[in-house]
Amino acid sequence: MRTCPSNLDVSKAIGLYAGIEWGLKVKSFAPYSFTAETKDGESKFSVFVCSAEGSKIRVDEFIRNSLSNYIILVIHNKPNDNAIVIKNDSEFKSIISSDNTIDGKELVSIIKRKFEAQIDNYDG
């Protein structure tokens, strides 16, 4: 999937992708998130564009306060499968360090889905 450079537009593009590729019934879009019917009922997905520095992923400080059921991290400077879906729970929040980084190795066991999202000209 290829998308444009705004965080807001990225969430809409990924919501549409989720509807087509994953078979989710997307119900609504909001800034930086979308809501869809899942097997567990209605779920909210927040989309965060972030960057990687080696094995560390730098995330937005607001990720800790997200009330979404799922977090989608799009790592704009990583090749190939650079977007991951993670359940937003205490296990996920426990691996976010105080400097708002996550060790990529700690993410591996909690990834629900991964895919490629190419973002052109991102400067965020």
Q: What is the pLDDT of residues 51-82, one digit of tens each?
A: 999 999 999 888 888 999 999 999 989 889 99
Share of the chain above pLDDT 90, in %: 66
Max Cα separation, the chain? 37
Instruction: Tell me what pLDDT residue 2 has.
Output: 39
Instruction: Walk me through the domains of the chain, giving residue ranges and CATH numbers.
Output: 2-119 (3.40.1350)
Amino acid at 31: P
Instruction: Tell me what pLDDT residue 65 has.
Output: 87
d(CA 14, CA 78) in angstroms, rounded, equals 17
94-120 core/surface letters (b: 16 or more CB in 10 A; e: else): ebbeeeebbeeebbeeeeeeebebebe
Residue 4 pLDDT greater than 80, yes or no: no
Which helix (H) or strand (E) segment holds residue 20: the answer is helix 7-21
Instruction: Tell me what pLDDT residue 122 has.
Output: 59
d(CA 15, CA 70) in angstroms, rounded, equals 12
